[in-house]
Amino acid sequence: MSVKPEIDDSWYKVLKPEFEAPYFSELKLFLKEEMSHYTVFPPAKLIFNAFNKTPLPAIKVVILGQDPYHGDGQAHGLAFSVPDGVKPPPSLMNIYKELASDLGIKPPESGNLEKWAAEGVLLLNTSLTVRSGTAASHAGKGWEKFTDAAIKAVSEYRAGVVFMLWGNHAISKERLIDTSKHLVLKTVHPSPLSASRGFLGCRHFSKANQYFQRNGLLPVNWQLNS
């Protein structure tokens, strides 16, 4: 009998077919091989951190990233987030800049977004692992099939979720979302290479909360400072 992965039960119920699919067995073999030769981020116990921090019934917002950070100590299983004590990377600094402009929230010193995860914000990378120092090294190995299934599950089992799709890679996932029952917000990636072309000034945080209020739902508390 296979061992149940360390993932929240609400997610396991809907993603069980993925864990049992042939592609996932191949992905596990690939990861085992990678881990025997290289350092892989995030640490194994944090690979499903986004799912464990934000159970399926709690989801209000989905923010999609692409790859985990590949620098030492940066990745902890939440898209765009870094642990306390790690300098916030440039894309996250632009997210903070937009948050300040949009909602007047002072940028925190920490880059840890766990408070958002607890508010129902699923911070999902489409690839859940990466080799140290090598961007996109685990792309095309099976993670995308798995995370596509997760995005579809949110679309199917939840209603009134706001999907924030930043950059072409995230925008390509709109096909997985039922736009008749969810709000999709799209703009360029918050990376310094593109943020000034539409991310800064997109007002996605206030637009999300306006949507929740129109639909009689509690807004997200985007405040990260204690």
DSSP string, 66-95: SS---STTT--SSTT---TTSPPPHHHHHH
Q: What are phi and psi of 197, to 5 degrees?
A: -95, 20
Active site residue 67: yes
Cα distances (Å, whole numbers) of residue 223 to 62, 114, 142, 226: 17, 11, 35, 8
- Kindly state the tokens that stand for 168: 């072409």
Average pLDDT for 211-216: 97
Query: Does residue 2 surpass a pLDDT of 90?
Result: no
Please state, rounded to an integer, the average pLDDT across all residues of the chain. Answer: 96
Q: Are strands 61-65 and 162-166 parallel, antiparallel or unpaired?
A: parallel
The residue-averaged pLDDT of 89-108 equals 97
For 125, residues 6+ apart whose C-beta sits below 8 A from its C-beta are 50, 64, 65, 66, 67, 68, 79, 147
In the predicted structure, residue 3 carries a pLDDT above the cut 70? no
Instruction: Report the predicted TM-score, pTM, of the whole model to 2 decimal places.
Output: 0.97
Q: In Å, what is the CA distance from 187 to each residue of 86, 106, 198? A: 27, 22, 6
pLDDT, tens digit, for every residue of 109-158? 999 999 999 999 999 999 999 999 999 999 999 999 999 999 999 999 99
In whole angstroms, give the CA distance from residue 195 to residue 203: 13
- Catalytic residue (one of 9, 67, 102, 178): 67
